Amino acid sequence: MGSWDTDRIYVIDPQSWKVQKEFQSPGRPYGIAAYAGEFRVVVAHGEEDDRYLYRLTPDGGFDLSSKTACPDMTGSHLAVEGTTIYLGQMHYHRILALNADLSVERTIELPTPRSAGFRFGEHGRFYMISADEEFENLEFGTIDIAQSQPRFESIRPLPSEARTLAYDGSQWWTSLRDEHEIASFTV
């Protein structure tokens, strides 16, 4: 879990909800995703809020030498499938599929005005939080990112504070940003 208040990443025990470990981030942490036994983290720097990808290892923390500018210096949410990293760029209404070297493999144009968190669920289906231009009327749903013009299929509404998305194999999780809470839900 990342915190904007402390600029830290916290490892939380899912049974006790106690912090097991924490890492000082080199800036404001945004998206985080597990990748090859490590993590990739989007971190914002400076007044311009420029976004960079970093490598985070469970034993060594942030690898400062891994700092790589996000395309167009923007990005927030992350997901991983195989060796492909998916980087959300909400203001451009797209998700970029990145190769292992962080070069852009392809661009996925989103069928919704805005998006928040996204993640792969069962059977490799791609799920996301969709919103309107005012970032209201949030919906949890799925899109087929293999299609050149994917359609968003709504599954259920979400609270207007929902931002991130995680899946543990049986239930979904989101942060309720304005409430400073983590909530779970099933579909």
pLDDT in tens, 56-72: 999 999 999 999 999 99
Nearest to 87 by CA among 42, 138, 150, 55: 42
> How do residues 120-175 score in pLDDT, each as one tens digit?
999 899 999 999 989 899 999 999 999 989 999 999 999 999 999 999 999 999 99
What architecture does CATH give domain 1-109? Answer: 7 Propeller (2.130)
Give tens-digit pLDDT for 30-61: 999 999 999 999 999 999 999 999 999 999 99
| pLDDT for res 180 | 84
Q: Which residues share a beta bridge with 176?
A: 162, 181
In this predicted structure, the answer to whether residue 177 has a pLDDT above a threshold of 90 is no
Instruction: Examine the pLDDT at 74 and tell me if it is beyond 90.
Output: yes
Do the beta carbons of residue 173 and residue 166 sit within 8 Å? Answer: yes
Q: Match domain 111-187 to its CATH number in 1.10.443, 1.10.260, 2.40.10, 1.10.3470.
A: 2.40.10
Mean pLDDT value across the chain: 94
CA distance readout (Å), 62 to 13, 54, 70, 95? 20, 7, 17, 24
Q: Please state the separation of Cα 85 from the chain's center in Å.
A: 10
Query: Residue ranges of the domains in the chain?
Result: 1-109, 111-187
